Structure 1
Amino acid sequence: MTPRPAPAELYVEVQQFYARQMHLLDAGRLDEFAGTFTPDGSHQPSPDKPPAYGRADIVAAIRQFDERYRDDPVVRRHWFNMLCVAPDDDGSIRADYYALVVATRPGVQPIIPTSCLVHDVLHRVEGRLYVRSRRIDHDQSRVVQLAGASRG
């Protein structure tokens, strides 16, 4: 069954939600970023890592990840595109999109170290959107899996 397309107003609302969310993440405002998830929401940064559940654990996981960049003057920007938005009958909203992370260091050309496909389930609480679950599939992992399968 093909999901029904989202009305234009919902599509734009979801795009604006992600723009605000990624501005928070890229600015290091992690508590506010985690506040865009439901209180029991989940964030799985890659298939080989367990998901973080709840806002406090989401912040802790991101801080742990960011720790490896503590002495690195890198600026990371998250770019989302090719967004597919599909409302479900239960009121939740499925959003699948491509994500690129652009890393910029002083005096060096920007690079794209990460390319992903992200799967979100959004819920509306008192009129506002929140992420109930996020699963991130890295293209680098998929390329390795496909290359291994073609050898077998």
Structure 2
Amino acid sequence: MRTDPRYWEIQQFYADHMHLLDSGDTAGWAATFTEDGTFVPPPPRPAVSGRGNLAEAAALAAKERAEKGETHRHWHGMVSVRPGEDADSVRVTCYALVFVTPAGGAPRLHQSCVCEDLLVRDGESWLVRHRRVSRDG
């Protein structure tokens, strides 16, 4: 199987994307979605669409983590990049791990998931048009 030539730029996209989220820059993270982008989290949480709603939902989650004194780190690995419907889109499937570290405590694995994204080219970068996250177990 050949590696998609865009593989490394997509890896960089995910590194930047997750650093924005984990650093609390929820507006910056939401800006990495298309204007009408959709995030479908594992149940029971509902799907969220649109940059404003994505930023708001991420900010609320960041506030809850801060109130608990927790740091979350998202890791995307085993990234598989496949062509999308056209030259300016790709389908990405990866494993997503979320680690939680309570203030003064030891890190622990919080969730193990499969993340399925449709990314679209935006100039020199990429944006998430649709994301579905399925939790293992």
TM-superposition CA deviations, 1:78-104 (whole Å, max 9, x none): 011111100124231000000111111
Q: Structure 2 length as normaliser, TM-score?
A: 0.90
Does 2:86 align with 1:110?
Answer: no
User: Shift of the alpha carbon at 1:129?
Assistant: 0.6
Does 2:86 align with 1:90?
Answer: yes
Higher CA-based Rg: 1
What code does the residue aligned with 1:28 have? G
Does 2:39 align with 1:50?
Answer: no
- Long gaps (5+) in structure 1: 144-152
Specify which structure has the higher proportion of strand: 2
Q: Structure 1 length as normaliser, TM-score?
A: 0.82
User: Who is 2:124 aligned against?
Assistant: 127
3-state SS of 2:37 partner: strand
Taking the TM superposition and a 5 Å limit, the aligned residue runs for 1:54-69 are 54-69=50-65
User: Who is 1:99 aligned against?
Assistant: 96
User: Shift of the alpha carbon at 1:47?
Assistant: 4.1
The alignment-based identity, stated in percent, is 38
- The ranges of structure 1 where at least 4 consecutive aligned residues each deviate by more than 4 angstroms after the TM superposition are none
Distance in 1, Cα, partners of 2:32 & 2:69: 27
Comparing 122-131 with 28-37, greater Cα deviation is found at 122-131
**Contact in 2 for aligned 1:5/1:87 (Cα 8 Å):** no
3-state SS of 1:68 partner: helix
User: In structure 1, which of residues 16, 28, 41 is the aligned counterpart of residue 12 of structure 2?
Assistant: 16
User: Shift of the alpha carbon at 1:32?
Assistant: 0.5
Comparing 42-51 with 85-94, greater Cα deviation is found at 42-51
Distance in 1, Cα, partners of 2:71 & 2:133: 21
**Contact in 2 for aligned 1:103/1:113 (Cα 8 Å):** yes
Q: How many residues align?
A: 136
Distance in 2, Cα, partners of 1:46 & 1:54: 18
User: In structure 2, which of residues 37, 42, 49 is the aligned counterpart of residue 41 of structure 1?
Assistant: 37
Does 2:60 align with 1:79?
Answer: no
**Contact in 2 for aligned 1:78/1:102 (Cα 8 Å):** yes
Distance in 2, Cα, partners of 1:56 & 1:86: 29
3-state SS of 1:21 partner: helix
3-state SS of 2:68 partner: coil
